[in-house]
């Protein structure tokens, strides 16, 4: 992947986007500058967990901040899968609530980008692995 700058550009674009977006959205759970995040919260969730809506959103914000930071570290592949699952959880919450279905569809689409980032990271890691590891995993291309 290092030999193909177009794939490298795609990887960096996804990595920065899926690192910063959860980071900023998580921070905003404490300030509500972008939106009132509680309006997206299924009212059953805080009742089920016996916490207030603001407290729940602060926990959500902390998780998003950590996920965003992890995407920007050497744990990109694993963090991208976490972001993907997180986006699915948000979408399912919105769907069960029966509101904001447009946001649910958007989050499902974004989860596909997080999945693509995880897969591109796997390719990138295999390409940068020492040659003996690539031979052992079968990722070395055979010369024809």
133 near 114, Cβ under 8 Å?
no
For the stretch 105-137, pLDDT in tens is 999 999 999 999 999 999 999 888 876 555 555
Tokens of 107: 């989050």
DSSP structural state of residue 39: G
Does this model's pTM top 0.75? My answer is: yes
For the stretch 64-98, pLDDT in tens is 999 999 999 999 999 999 999 999 999 999 999 99
């Amino acid at each position: 992947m290092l030999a193909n700058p177009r794939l490298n550009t795609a990887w960096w674009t996804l990595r920065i986007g899926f690192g910063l977006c959860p980071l900023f959205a998580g921070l905003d759970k404490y300030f509500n500058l972008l939106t009132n995040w509680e309006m997206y919260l299924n009212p059953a969730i805080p009742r089920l967990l016996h916490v207030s809506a603001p407290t729940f959103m602060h926990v959500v914000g902390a998780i998003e901040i950590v996920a965003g930071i992890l995407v920007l570290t050497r744990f990109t592949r694993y963090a991208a899968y976490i972001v993907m699952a997180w986006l699915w959880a948000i979408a399912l919450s919105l769907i069960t609530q029966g509101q904001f279905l447009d946001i649910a569809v958007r989050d499902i689409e974004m989860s596909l980008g997080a999945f693509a980032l995880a897969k591109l990271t796997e390719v990138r890691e295999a390409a940068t692995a020492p040659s003996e590891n690539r031979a052992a995993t079968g990722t070395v291309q055979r010369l024809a």
